[in-house]
Amino acid sequence: MIKPGSVEEILNTAKIEDIVGEYVTLKRRGVNMIGNCPFHNEKTPSFTVSPTKNIYKCFGCGKGGNSAQFLMEHESYSFPEALRHIAGRYNIEIEETVTSRESIEERQMLDSLFIVNQYARDFYQKQLFETDEGKSVGLSYFKDRGFLEETIRKFGLGYAPGEGKLFCKTATAAGHKDSSLKKLGLSTSYGKDFFRERVMFTIHNLSGKVIGFGGRILKKDVKAPKYINSPETEVYNKSRVLYGAYFAKKSIRQNDECIMVEGYTDVISLHQAGIENVVASSGTSLTVEQIQLVKRNTPNMKIIYDGDTAGVKAALRGLDLVLEQDMNVKVVLLPEGEDPDSYLQKLGAADFKEYIDKEAKDFILFKTNLLMEEAAGDPVKKAAMIKDLVASIARIPDPIKRSLYIKECSHLVKVEEEILVDAANKVFKKTFKQEQKNKERFRSDSQRQGGDGGGRPGDNQEDNSASAIPKKEAVQGNEFQEKDIVRLLITSGGEIFDEESKTTVAAFIVSNIEEVLDDFDNKQYERIVRECMQMLNDGKKIEQKHFINHWDDEMAQLAITLLHDEFEYSTNWKDMWEVELQTQPMPEQNYVKDSISSINAFKMRKIDKTMAKNQERIKTAQEEKDDVKMMKYLRIQQKLLAIRSELAKAGNTVILK
């Protein structure tokens, strides 16, 4: 584990504009920088980077966070991977603590697996380029396919020789453990090489590390399967890997589209021809994880199928998953007997590209046409087909898209729209109910496990029901002042409020609202105020980054959302006084004025509430003809009124929102 001190140093050193700038072209706008969001498709930039706050936030899709979170989102890194990336960039030495012996051993074990895999890749490559067998069998095969040496090296292609133990012998002589070779599936349980007489394809993870291999046999007369692959290991989870993703991810984002093919050689050929946004599911049907991997970079997917209809129909069944993930899926069917590799050789890159753009058909409509052909003249088949189709459409999360498809399909299959709508709604309701059930089960499970969250004892129940981030529209009237107070605490809590006494903004706010804290309507906001109180008691400085980098993701997201609102404020403000932008202090520097007015507004609301309650008491006392009580409550009411007008006066002279 990376030491907390080290984590802090890394996060503090990281400049958000540097980290994001590696991937996004940023332009300065006032104190912030803007660019096109890498997480969603947009033409006018709404992706904002704030160098002073050291965070990014997108108005369009709502994604936001610090440098580490950006890398986790963008590069699919884990938190430690993101930290290591940043540390590498700024030459920060990472201090690691080891919590237990197992975790050192686990880390070392994983590292050693990557090292062994890398060793294997180098071995196979050496065989390919430097041995007679490798050159005559392997290299000539790749050259026949038109692969250039540069491409062969880039994709880590190689050759596994026919001699049954050569790899194992060489690897163990080089100091690699027998057990590692077995674990990675590079050797069989009898100690023989697993890959023999095969051309080798290296499989990389998203950061380019070698996680496994695919081997293709070239001899025709043997009974062995044409392709064999590394087994699932600690470093290779097949359902989460797309072949070529490491080389394709940048191009997928640039083109805002992912092309999906079936084979390794298809990926490599297209890539070499300059079509780089290509990945392969390597033979298996697509998994949800693989689709999500694509979705992180683009919602648009084009799937290329070889031109045999039987295979396509089987493949289409798995595609409903893609619809569920709300991806725009197009299907391209190649002419009979062609695969992407062969067809590309035939047409050349430019014409191939034109072909797939022209022939790309919407998935649902493609499926409809295909099923129609099959069911022609057979009413029973047609009924089954409609059911199948409706089941696909019902999986589309977007209701507008759903109804458009229904319209189109009713036209294509010549069935009245209402019938399709009814059928789709039935399926939709059924899945919706199932989902609700799953959610409920999940909720009650997590409530049962509630005690391990590490928060204040006894508040877990509330935290669960208060649901993660208060959505923008959910913040209205009553919560507004609370939100403003919390925003001030986070953005300017550590600033000096009063020069003479060195009181901080946080100390001023907390001391003023302590007694009414229980009245907070929003429990999440209350949590932040309480945490600030605790920090003040502990003599800690209240800093924005404490909340942005909060260990509890809910708190971190809430902080970022609050900062986001401030961005909007600055934007409006800037639009109104564009010219004065250079000379005016930014809103975040108005914390003294803002603290007073926020506290006033907050107190005003509490007093209004108390007065309303008191008014009720007066009424009851009147009804009960209890003069003593009535007089008492009337006096209280007068006092409240006096405080209220005091506050209003202060509000008027300072500022009232």
Which residues contact Zn ion (rule: CB under 5 A)?
Answer: 37, 39-40, 58, 60-61
CB of 604 to Zn ion, least distance (A): 37
Quick check: helix, strand or coil at residue 77? coil
Compare residues 67 and 281 and give the one whose CB is closer to Zn ion: 67
Nearer to Zn ion, 40 or 182 (CB): 40
The distance of closest approach from Cβ of residue 335 to Zn ion in the complex, given in angstroms and rounded to an integer, is 39
Give me the phi and psi of 230, to 5 degrees please. -60, 150
Smaller CB distance to Zn ion: residue 46 or 590?
46
Cα dihedral across residues 419, 420, 425, 431: positive or negative: positive
Distance CA 183, CA 171 (A): 14
If the CB atoms of residues 45 and 215 are measured against Zn ion, the closer one turns out to be 45
228 beta partners? 215
Rounded-to-integer distance, Cα 55 and Cα 64, Å = 7
Nearest distance from residue 76's CB to Zn ion, in Å? Answer: 17
Rounded Cα–Cα distance for residues 380 and 215 (Å): 45
For residues 300 and 130, what is the distance between their CA atoms, to the nearest angstrom? 42
Q: Residue 173, Cβ neighbours under 10 Å: how many?
A: 8
Cβ closest to Zn ion, residue 39 vs residue 405: 39
Instruction: Please state the separation of Cα 629 from the chain's center in Å.
Output: 60
Structure tokens at 339: 């695969």
Q: DSSP per residue over 182-215, as a string?
A: HHTTSB-TTS-BSS-SEEEEEEE-TTS-EEEEEE
Least distance (Å) from Zn ion to the CB of residue 72? 15
Give the shortest CB-204-to-Zn ion separation in angstroms.
27
Closer Cβ to Zn ion, 36 or 325, answer by number:
36
- Choose between 74 and 367: whose C-beta lies nearer to Zn ion: 74
Residue (70 or 405) nearer to Zn ion, CB: 70
We find the least distance from the C-beta atom of residue 327 to Zn ion, in angstroms, to be 17
> For Zn ion, which is the closer residue by CB, 40 or 313?
40
Q: Considering the complex, what minimum distance in angstroms separates the CB of residue 36 from Zn ion?
A: 9
Tell me the closest approach of the beta carbon of residue 39 to Zn ion, in angstroms. Answer: 5
The length of the chain is 657
51 vs 60 by CB, closer to Zn ion:
60
Which residue has tokens 């877990």?
A: 460
| 657 alpha carbon, distance to own chain's centre | 36
For strands 227-229 and 64-65, give the pairing.
unpaired
Q: Give the angle 395-400-404 at the CA atoms, nearest 5°.
A: 85
Residue in this structure with the two tokens 């939709």, named with its chain if needed: 428
Q: Shortest approach of Zn ion to residue 259 CB, angstroms?
A: 23
CB of 60 to Zn ion, least distance (A): 4
CB 337 → Zn ion: shortest distance, Å?
43
Residue placing its CB nearer to Zn ion in the complex, 46 or 425: 46
Inter-residue contact 623 to 587 (CB < 8 Å): no
For residue 278, the cross-strand partners are 259
Cβ contact 46:7 at 8 Å: no
**Do the beta carbons of residue 1 and residue 103 sit within 8 Å?**
yes
Look up residue 196 and give its two tokens.
């023999």
Measured from the CB atom, the residue of 67 and 600 that comes closer to Zn ion is: 67
Number of neighbours of residue 502 by Cβ within 10 angstroms? 9
* Smallest separation (angstroms) from Zn ion to the CB of 16: 15
Give CA–CA dist 121/153, Å, rounded.
Answer: 10
**Under a CB-based contact definition with an 8 Å cutoff, are residues 159 and 137 in contact?**
yes
**Residue 170 or 255 having the CB closest to Zn ion:** 255
C-beta of 60 vs 191, nearer to Zn ion: 60
Structure tokens at 465: 């029901």
Residue 58 vs 139, nearer CB to Zn ion? 58
Burial class, 194, CB count within 10 angstroms (exposed 0-12 / middle 13-18 / buried 19+)? buried
Least distance between Zn ion and beta carbon 309 (Å): 39
Least distance (Å) between residue 517 CB and Zn ion: 35
Shortest Cβ distance from residue 56 to Zn ion (Å)?
10
Sign of the alpha-carbon dihedral angle for 12, 16, 17, 20: positive
Minimum distance, C-beta of residue 64 to Zn ion, in the bound complex (Å): 9
- What is the three-state SS of 2-42? ECHHHHHHHHHHCCHHHHHHCCCCCEEECCEEEECCCCCCC
| Integer angstrom CA distances of residue 373 from 187, 309, 333, 362, 527 | 49, 11, 15, 17, 61
Nearer to Zn ion, 41 or 188 (CB): 41
Which residue, 47 or 264, has its beta carbon nearer to Zn ion? 47
H helix and E strand count, the chain = 29, 16
130: Cβ–Cβ under 8 A, 6 or more apart, which residues? none
How many other CB atoms sit within 10 Å of the CB of residue 358?
A: 8
Residue that has been written with the tokens 């090292």 in this structure: 115
Q: How far is the CB of 368 from Zn ion (least distance, A)?
A: 33
**Strand residue runs (E) in 262-335:** 278-280, 300-305, 328-333
